[in-house]
Structure 1
Amino acid sequence: MSELIGIGLYTPAEAARLTRVPAAKIVRWLNGHMIKGQPYKPLWQSQIDLEDGHTYLGFRDLMELKVAAEFIKHGVSAIRVRAAIEVARDVYGYDHPLSTDRFKTDGKDIFLRVIDDIADGSEQEKLLNTFHRQYTFAHIIERSLKGVEFDETGAPSLWWPVGHRERIIVDPARSFGQPIDEVSGVPTSVLAAAGRAEGAGPAARAFDVPLTSVKRAMKFEMQLEKGLAA
């Protein structure tokens, strides 16, 4: 598993908890699928293939998933998103271009190139209306990458899933990308499980972490469960 250090490792179920995109949809997007005999290619190639017949995601897949889901939520078809990824991959040279910092500034032009290539003018106007009806293009990107930090190449490197103040981070270089308490470095799932089983105070003493770390972890994991249920 050493080759996964710095990449992160998530099952579709774990990715669903963090992004609120249903696990079945994640699998379809990464593996492709058939509808009435019509094949649909994957939106992009996953970072991880453990050659065990199961689907996994890396941290970059997780970030790409967040952006793709936000576009689809606002009316851009999966076909258009796939085509935009292919064009942006050629332009930027990244395998996961939607989640790059650069895409935030010039990704709109890429989508318009896609529409020009595969549809008529009315479709282009429809896409523009989608971006401007409720959210600007920049707002869609900003919303999907909220709390994400980028490295010097413009690639996402760290995610604060509930904001900096809550001090919970998703870092592909630590705990295989599982959410951790920033102060102690312990996965939130571990602290929360101990807190539920033993109480926050005993759990804090057992792991030698501040009481606030356990309480934050319990709150965060409860939010994930509520999001999944919703």
Structure 2
Amino acid sequence: MTTFEPRPFPFGIGIYSFWDAARYIGATSRDVRRWIRAYSPSPRAGNPIPLWDSQLLEWRRRGVGFRDLVELRFVRAMRAEGVTLPVIRRVLQLGRESLRTPYPITCDRFREIGKQIFLEALATEGITHARFDDVARRRVLRIVAGTHLRRGIELNAQDQATRWFPLPRSQVVVLDPDRRAGDPILTDSGVPTVAIAAAYKADKEDARFVAWQYEITEADVRAAVHFETRWCSA
């Protein structure tokens, strides 16, 4: 009888449930499940073709990895502007072929070719001007070739995402696959933001007391609470 022996899960990939991944990027868990192929003991026939395979698929783990999560932010932003999944799939395909990397849109190099690739993807999929006007095109081009979604993403020498600081103009909160499996934490202390937010609620929103409990600053408490209760709910 053949039995499945799970491989040791490697350090530094990050692991996120569909629900958490959706919360962090402003999507729904249903969307994330549609966009990415992840492990399922009983895959359903007839599901839409996903955009790529999850980092966790090889280890038969449900959910997504850190680089999946960062790339999914761009997918969510394009979908919010009305870009169809076939066009996004084509953008990803052309980006992978050009940059020879599984997560092309996150790369800083993609900014140089993003406009050309997006317009080529539209033409290939037969998207006419009437269906996608100039205003919408400009908004999407800012997503694929601009800096807005790239702010807070730290890249290594290979142009791969290694850390994500999700709060605008702040490095107090970080998602780092090398720390606590990528869970959102305070950068300096490593305390999970979810724990701080729970303590803040339980202690009647007394930031000073929570800061004393965790030996952090009140500013740290407020940043963690902001991330968990406002930013993730946006």
Category of TM-score, reference length = shorter chain: 0.7 to 0.9
1:45 is matched with 53
Q: Which runs of 5+ in 1 are unaligned?
A: none
The answer on whether the counterparts of 2:95 and 2:105 sit within 8 Å (CA) in structure 1 is yes
Once residues 39 and 200 of structure 1 are traced to their aligned partners in structure 2, the CA distance between those partners, rounded to angstroms, is 46
2:172 is matched with 167
CA offsets per residue over residues 40-59 of structure 1, 9 Å max, x none?
3111111112425x3x1111
- 1:82, CA displacement in angstroms? 0.6
1:212 is matched with 219
- 1:4, CA displacement in angstroms? 4.2
2:93 is matched with 86
Once residues 67 and 232 of structure 2 are traced to their aligned partners in structure 1, the CA distance between those partners, rounded to angstroms, is 23
Match of 2:105, SS? helix
Once residues 90 and 127 of structure 1 are traced to their aligned partners in structure 2, the CA distance between those partners, rounded to angstroms, is 25
Amino acid of the structure 1 residue aligned with 2:113 = D
Structure with bigger helix share is 1
Paired-residue identity, %:
27
The yes-or-no answer on 1:154 pairing with 2:159 is yes
The yes-or-no answer on 1:137 pairing with 2:146 is no
1:108/1:124 CA distance change after superposition, 3 Å: farther
Tell me how large the CA RMSD over aligned residues is.
2.7
Amino acid of the structure 1 residue aligned with 2:210 = A
- 1:136, CA displacement in angstroms? 6.2
Amino acid of the structure 2 residue aligned with 1:51 = R
The answer on whether the counterparts of 2:86 and 2:125 sit within 8 Å (CA) in structure 1 is no
CA offsets per residue over residues 59-91 of structure 1, 9 Å max, x none?
111111111111222232111101221121122
Q: 1:68 aligns with which of 71, 75, 96?
A: 75
Equivalent pairs counted in the alignment come to 217
1:188 is matched with 193
Q: Which runs of 5+ in 2 are unaligned?
A: 1-6, 39-44
Tell me the TM-score normalised to structure 2 length.
0.80
1:124/1:110 CA distance change after superposition, 3 Å: farther
CA offsets per residue over residues 172-192 of structure 1, 9 Å max, x none?
211111111122111111122
1:166/1:19 CA distance change after superposition, 3 Å: same
Match of 1:214, SS? helix
